[in-house]
Amino acid sequence: MLLYESLATQLRAQINAGALAPGERLPSIRRLAQAHAVSPATAVQACLQLEREGLAVARPRSGYFVRSQVTPLPQPPALRRRAPGPVRNRELYEFLDIFARRDLLPLHAAVPAPALLPEHAMAAALARSLRRDRSQALSYAPPQGHAPLRQLIAQRYAQLATTVTPDEVVITAGAIEAINLALRVVTQPGDVVVVEMPTYHGILQAVEALRLQVLELPRCATGGTHLDRLEQMLQQHPVRAAVLVPNFHNPLGSVMSDADKQRLLATCAQHGTVVIEDDIYGDLAWSGQRPSPLRQWDHHGSVITCSSFSKTLAPGLRVGWLLGGEWTDALVRAKYCSTVGNPALPQLALADYLQRHDQERHLRRLRRALADNAQRMRAAIERDWPEGTCVNDPLGGLSLWLQLPPGGDGTALFQAALAAGIGIAPGQAFCSRGGYRDHLRLSCGLPWDASVKQAMRRLGALATAQAL
């Protein structure tokens, strides 16, 4: 047996015996090498071997961790071939009431906790911007948005090998307004649009408010999208737009492959379907390998990209953006009609912040923290939740998507969790006509601490009580 195999065997035995628990960090390469009198290269080989076996997971700059072994999510339910229809989902609105509550442990909100965001630097940028030019800060901003901020956003896309000009960036009140404006500009009431199943509830609300008809395109937690089904849909129905979250999907956490992105765009371009891309989680790849925005592959001008700073810098500033392409003028008019323009001060402050701070450095820290939280939460699910609970294994974003064992009820668990002072998101909120009743979404945006640990244990006990 080679030296690294022998070391891997010892570590494997410790993991299997529970001496190294799921979520726990393996000793550093240096310590492993010293303790077992091998070279660091041999220690690395041993860890790589455990990674190949699915027993350990590497996290950039943090080392190797024991991988949680919770059952992965099964394939999505069989495709439902339905005619287009309106969004009809009462549970969605019952769930949304939760966002007014401040008394809950917020595992329902897919957002990083304030402690993970640069609050001090942002507060300083706000104060500086107000001091520097009070009149500009308190006046109407241009409807399209503050020019230096639009420039900074375009520059960021240049780093992603995606050509964007500041002229087509439109600043919006978060990604949610971006999605609403894009839909308003490209559709008429009664038009058919494709949304993913499951999908972010804000997309369902926008579609409902604009009285659009939906077709649901199944999406898998493991990454796949049913592109054959999409082709059929576009052949059978006049689909005006498709609203998609290609990168670190909410709630699935999955990423569409570059090949799928290209095929999807070719199909939509062929049928004259506009693609509204929601790329709000693209920067939250835990490995640091940012997946491409759809926009990168858009050779036909059929994509409108929506995103925001809500998941990376400051959700309360309500600053998002659109990349409008040929729809830019229409989008600016729609923006004017909606709010005249975004408030000036948050835009000035964000431009100031981005000019002064190394955004990559902040993102690196944020991604590491989210990966760590997710790993610990998955380990807690394995330990404390009923046998047969399945959970996704995302590589980025903020969502853990769970399926309860047979008989489990995510909506009942949502109610029971509320009574226990914990917010969770029931699966039913992520589908245009209900469904996913045995699913739920947890945010991994809260740093792992005693209160999160206790909440995960309490949720596990409530889920277990359901299973009895």
Ligand X SMILES: Cc1ncc(COP(=O)(O)O)c(C=O)c1O
- Which parts of this chain interact with ligand X (CB under 6 A)? 110, 174-176, 200, 202, 245, 250, 278, 280, 308, 310, 315, 320
Residue with Cβ nearer ligand X (154 or 204):
204
What are 217's strand-pairing partners? 196
Bridge partner residues of 241 (DSSP): 193, 274
For ligand X, give the closer residue by CB, 4 or 281: 281
C-beta of 202 vs 405, nearer to ligand X: 202
Q: How far is the CB of 376 from ligand X (least distance, A)?
A: 22
Tell me whether residue 311 or residue 376 sits nearer to ligand X (CB atom).
Answer: 311
The answer to whether the beta carbons of residues 74 and 439 sit under 8 Å apart is: no
Alpha-helical segments (H) within 243-284: 258-271
**Judging by beta carbons within 10 Å of its beta carbon (0-12, 13-18, 19+), is residue 14 exposed, middle or buried?**
middle
Q: How far apart are CA 329 and CA 319, in angstroms?
A: 19
- In whole angstroms, what is the distance from residue 364 CA to residue 375 CA? 17
End-to-end CA distance of the chain: 47
- Closest contact distance (angstroms) between CB of 333 and ligand X is 21
Residues 129, 135, 141: CA angle, nearest 5 degrees:
80
CB of 249 to ligand X, least distance (A): 8
Smallest separation (angstroms) from ligand X to the CB of 253: 11
Place of tokens 């300083």: 124
Residue with the shortest CB distance to ligand X: 174
Q: Which is nearer to ligand X, 92 or 176 (CB)?
A: 176
Secondary structure (3-state) at 8: helix
Q: State which residue, 33 or 122, has the beta carbon closest to ligand X.
A: 122
Residue number with CB closer to ligand X (315 or 434): 315
Measured from the CB atom, the residue of 64 and 248 that comes closer to ligand X is 248
Phi-psi domain of 434 (left: phi exceeds 0; alpha: psi -120 through 50; beta: other): left
- Shortest distance in whole angstroms from residue 172 CB to ligand X: 8
In angstroms, give the least distance from the CB of 108 to ligand X.
Answer: 10
Any idea of the CA torsion for 441, 445, 450, 453, to the nearest 10 degrees?
30
The beta strand positions in 180-332, using DSSP E, are: 192-197, 213-218, 239-244, 274-278, 303-308, 320-323
**Rounded least distance, CB 201 to ligand X, Å:** 8
Task: Compute the least distance from the CB of residue 383 to ligand X, in Å.
Answer: 28
**Distance between CA atoms of residues 20 and 26, nearest Å:** 7
